[in-house]
Every structure is written in structure tokens, then in C-alpha cells.
């Protein structure tokens, strides 16, 4: 009987960590607040996370939904350009018809990739780099101005010390000349 209870206890030991893993995760409340609105305080086991947007964005359609790639929203200019390309064949046309029709395909893919990159609001690397560069340059200018004022102050102090030493040296020379003149007999 004792052996049976020990065996049952050994079988239940691995179940204890499994019970600990079933602990509920805390609830997360994700909110978007606008302008100077306050983020609500977390209560109980709920974690509140707030994303802040500008006040001007409060009543606008979300940016993801503002642009649509449906054919109904395509500009007429793009449709006309597409019709102009219908009969184009041959070199640099990216078509299976004509000699060298395949040669324009890679150029078209590259152009499409650059157009997509420029129209994607999520990819703003150039703007981010420009902002970071401006931040760094603003601190560099401030540091350079501070260093310049420090150097100018040190130069003024050095110049004042030099003038004081020259004046003291001239006074010592004048005193030495007078003492030598006083030592010399009058006829010489």
C-alpha cells in the first residue's frame, strides 16, 4: 500500500508546474489618446498602455484606411498611360513579343519598387535621418559656441597676465637702471 501511495505521489509531482503555468496573464488595455488628454490609471490586474497622437488626428479616418489601392480610386492619368502601353512591343517593352522584349522588365520592376518606397508612409528613413542630423548639429552648434566663449575668456586672461608681467618687467628694468645710475660716480 505504501508503495502505491509513493507511486501516485511521483505521478502527481510533474503536474504541479503545469498548474503554475496556467496562471492568467494580466489584461492589457491599449488606448489612443489625443492632444493633452490624460491616460486612464491602471486598475487591479489590468495594465493600461496609451499611444498619444496629435489633437488634429482625433476625428480623422485612420491613416491606414485613408488610401486605397482599389481600381476605382486610380487616377485617370495612370489609366491613360496604361492604355498607351498596350501596343508597345520590342526592346525595353517587357513583353514576350518582339526582339528584346524581355529587356525592359528589370527596369520596370526597379521603377515600381522605388515608387512603392516613396509612397509608403511607414518608410521615412530620409526624414528620420534628417531629423537626427538636425538634432546632432544643434548640439554641436551649442557646444561650439560654449567652447568659443571659453577660449575667448582664457585668451583675455592670458593677455591680461602677459601685460601685467610686461608692466612688472618694465618697472623692474626702470628700478634697476635707476639703481645703476645712482651707483655710478657723477663724472662718468
Give the integer Cα–Cα distance in Å for 164 and 157: 11
Domain boundary among 119, 149, 172: 119
Is residue 65 situated within a structural domain? Answer: no
Per-block average pLDDT, block size 10, for the chain (188 residues)? 49 52 76 90 86 88 76 78 70 74 81 80 69 79 86 94 88 74 62
Does some domain include residue 184?
Answer: yes
Q: Does a structural domain hold residue 175?
A: yes
| pLDDT value of residue 7 | 45
Number of domains making up the chain: 3
185 and 156 co-located in one domain: yes
What pLDDT does 22 receive? 66
Give the pTM.
Answer: 0.28
Whether residue 169 sits in one domain with residue 138: yes
Tell me the residue range of the domain where 14 lies: 2-57
Amino acid at each position: 500500500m505504501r508503495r502505491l501511495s509513493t507511486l501516485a505521489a511521483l505521478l502527481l509531482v510533474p503536474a504541479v508546474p503545469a498548474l503554475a503555468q496556467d496562471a492568467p496573464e494580466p489584461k492589457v488595455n491599449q488606448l489612443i489618446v489625443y492632444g493633452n488628454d490624460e491616460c486612464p490609471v491602471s486598475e487591479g490586474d489590468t495594465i493600461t498602455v496609451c499611444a498619444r497622437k496629435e489633437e488634429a488626428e482625433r476625428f480623422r479616418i485612420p491613416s491606414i484606411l485613408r488610401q486605397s489601392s482599389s481600381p476605382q480610386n486610380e487616377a485617370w492619368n495612370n489609366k491613360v498611360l496604361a492604355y498607351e502601353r498596350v501596343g508597345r512591343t520590342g526592346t525595353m517593352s517587357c513583353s514576350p513579343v518582339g526582339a528584346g522584349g524581355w529587356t525592359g522588365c528589370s527596369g520596370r520592376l526597379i521603377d515600381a519598387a522605388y515608387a512603392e518606397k516613396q509612397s509608403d508612409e511607414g518608410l521615412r528613413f530620409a526624414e528620420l535621418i534628417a531629423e537626427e542630423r538636425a538634432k546632432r548639429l544643434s548640439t554641436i552648434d551649442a557646444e561650439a559656441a560654449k567652447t568659443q566663449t571659453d577660449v575667448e575668456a582664457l585668451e583675455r586672461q592670458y593677455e591680461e597676465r602677459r601685460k601685467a608681467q610686461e608692466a612688472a618687467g618694465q618697472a623692474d628694468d626702470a628700478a634697476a637702471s635707476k639703481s645703476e645710475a645712482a651707483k655710478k660716480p657723477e663724472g662718468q
